[in-house]
Amino acid sequence: MEGARILIVEDTKVFAAYLKKNLEKLGYIATAMATTGEEAIEKAAQLHPDLALMDISLAGGLDGIETAKQIRARFDIPVIYLTSSTDMETLERAKISEPFGYIIKPFDIKVLHTNIEMALYKHQMDRQVRKSEVGLRETLDQLKSTQSQLLQQEKLASIGQLAAGVAHEINNPMGYIGSNLGTLQKYIGKIQQHDQIGLDIMSKLKKLDYPEVQGLTQEIENSHKQLKLDFIFEDVGALIEESLEGADRVRKIVADLKSFSHQAEEGSKETDLNKGIQSTINIVWNELKYKANLTKEFGELPPVLCYPQKINQVVMNLLVNAAHAIENQGEIRIKTASENSHVLIEVSDTGCGISEENLSHIFEPFFTTKGVGKGTGLGLSMAYDIIHNKHGGEIKVDSRVGEGTTFRVYLPLTPKGENGLHG
């Protein structure tokens, strides 16, 4: 390859000059000459030649083989040995440095020319192969990430369909349970009213001076006390009230579940984020209530054009991660606010925090600090994709080990792009 820059490493100045002259005749550039290994490494660092011609026997602390190993490792420069050494021990040592040629002195210039061309070509091909390998690895990692995200989304969709079906099935019995409890409450009220009328009548009868009537009214009063009807009427009212309250809570959970998993709402729409976040909190409450006290600070927000189910998914991941970060008992705070052209969703916890070396990797697919079986490493990766790529927003993190972590999600009020949001 005409014009290639070559470093000559040779401690015999006469032979070095001979090499320089012949290399220039062949159309190469003898970019520098070095007589020691240390000088060769220094020249390689400064000039980054395309190839080095290396004598094995050099003056100084480094011989040619050790020098070649460092030049190859540090600067990725191919090396051809020019040496009079033919013993097997030297040859075996030379193999370790992966030379691109091994020419025994004296040699024909044509042999040198052929070796140089082959070395330059092989090195160029090696670089292209390495570059292709990097590209293929990146493509493979991206495919793995995409596949995992698709599987995760399909799984969530299946869970959503199942949840919607279960919610529908629960709604039916809860409907008549609530209705029956309401009817029972009315019936108990009427029975209680009837009992009170009976007690009033007995009170009037007791005032009459009839021994037989006195005995009967006393018998009824005794029965009333033995059966503890006063306590029963009082307690049954409380039981029905609690049951109605429980039924109402179940209806709200079912409504939140249907809202969270509704598959018909795949498109973007203007959304009340506070309502969606509250719905998500209700869904994941079982993950939170045993680990943390939850504080909500919902600000007044304008309607936001977004994919509501995807935003709910992001909030769910952040809340669950916050709970997992707390070892025993702690605090989780979720805050919303309107800030100029953005809406802020902030989730902070008093958990274990994230180390500085891990902080730059948390949004990478499959990266997780959780134990085996406790996390896929896709939650934050998917959250980043949803916020950054699908909504044109930002997600930032601030964390200190032993103090806690805060995630801030910024959603633009006016989505970027011709069509606003990206599907």
On whether residue 50 sits in a domain, the answer given is yes
pLDDT above 90 for 90: no
pLDDT above 80 for 240: yes
Its domain, for residue 175, covers: 154-261
pLDDT above 80 for 109: yes
* Averaged pLDDT, 345-356: 92
The alpha-helical segments, DSSP class H, found in 207-272 are: 211-226, 229-261
The CATH number of residue 346's host domain is 3.30.565.10
Tokens 């091909």 — which residue? Answer: 125
Beta bridge partners of 304: 271
Q: What percent of the chain has pLDDT over 90?
A: 29
Q: Are residues 89 and 72 in the same domain?
A: yes
Strand order in the sheet with 29-34: 29-34, 5-9, 51-54, 79-83, 101-104
On whether residue 357 sits in a domain, the answer given is yes
The pLDDT assigned to 89 comes to 80
**Helix, strand, coil fractions of the chain, as percent rounded to 5:** 55, 15, 25
Instruction: Please give the distance of CA 338 from its chain centroid, rounded to a whole number.
Output: 25
What are the b/e assignments for 138-168, b being 16+ CB within 10 Å? eeeeeeebeebeeebeeebeeebeebbeebe
User: What's the structural domain count of the chain?
Assistant: 3
Specify whether the CB–CB gap between 93 and 69 falls below 8 A.
Answer: no
Q: What's the residue count for the chain? A: 423
* Averaged pLDDT, 1-6: 84
Q: Are residues 257 and 273 in the same domain?
A: no
Tokens 């930002």 — which residue? Answer: 394
Specify whether the CB–CB gap between 336 and 343 falls below 8 A.
Answer: yes
Q: How many whole angstroms separate alpha carbon 6 and alpha carbon 31? A: 6
Count other C-beta atoms under 10 Å from residue 176's C-beta: 10
Residue 372 — pLDDT band, cuts 50, 70, 90? very low
On whether residue 168 sits in a domain, the answer given is yes
Residue, of 419 and 321, whose pLDDT is higher:
321
pLDDT above 60 for 263: no
What does the pLDDT look like over 119-162, one tens digit per residue? 898 988 888 888 888 888 887 777 776 666 666 555 555 555 55
On whether residue 313 sits in a domain, the answer given is yes
Specify whether the CB–CB gap between 40 and 71 falls below 8 A.
Answer: yes
* Averaged pLDDT, 213-225: 78
Tokens of 391: 């909504």
| Model pTM score | 0.47
Q: Are residues 295 and 255 in the same domain?
A: no
Closest alpha carbon to 63 in 55, 74, 71: 55
51: CB partners within 8 A, 6+ apart: 4, 5, 6, 7, 77, 78, 79, 80, 100, 116, 119, 120, 123
Q: Is 18 exposed, middle or buried (0-12, 13-18, 19+ CB in 10 A)?
A: middle
Q: How many whole angstroms separate alpha carbon 196 and alpha carbon 186? A: 15
Helix (H) or strand (E) holding 347: strand 342-349
Q: Are residues 254 and 162 in the same domain?
A: yes
The pLDDT assigned to 99 comes to 86
Q: Are residues 319 and 184 in the same domain?
A: no
DSSP 8-state code for residue 299:
P
Tokens of 372: 């085996």
On whether residue 163 sits in a domain, the answer given is yes
On whether residue 326 sits in a domain, the answer given is yes
Q: Is 243 exposed, middle or buried (0-12, 13-18, 19+ CB in 10 A)?
A: middle
Specify whether the CB–CB gap between 65 and 37 falls below 8 A.
Answer: no
Separation of first and last alpha carbons in the chain: 50
pLDDT above 60 for 194: yes
Q: Are residues 33 and 168 in the same domain?
A: no
Q: Are residues 240 and 327 in the same domain?
A: no
Q: How many whole angstroms separate alpha carbon 208 and alpha carbon 413? A: 82
Count other C-beta atoms under 10 Å from residue 2's C-beta: 8
The CATH number of residue 245's host domain is 1.10.287
Residue 260 — pLDDT band, cuts 50, 70, 90? low
What does the pLDDT look like over 303-333, one tens digit per residue? 999 988 889 889 988 998 899 999 889 999 9
**Last residue of some domain: 107, 124, 144?**
107
On whether residue 143 sits in a domain, the answer given is no
**Last residue of some domain: 229, 261, 293?**
261
3-class SS of residue 355: coil
* Averaged pLDDT, 285-294: 87
Q: Are residues 366 and 295 in the same domain?
A: yes
* Averaged pLDDT, 16-37: 91
Closest alpha carbon to 162 in 261, 299, 277: 261
Q: Are residues 161 and 249 in the same domain?
A: yes
Q: Are residues 179 and 75 in the same domain?
A: no
On whether residue 239 sits in a domain, the answer given is yes
- The mean pLDDT value of the chain amounts to 82
Q: Are residues 298 and 396 in the same domain?
A: yes
pLDDT above 80 for 347: yes
**Last residue of some domain: 214, 242, 261?**
261
pLDDT above 60 for 373: no
Highest mean pLDDT among 121-125, 206-210, 240-244, 366-370: 121-125
* Averaged pLDDT, 366-393: 71
Count other C-beta atoms under 10 Å from residue 387's C-beta: 21
Q: Are residues 300 and 230 in the same domain?
A: no
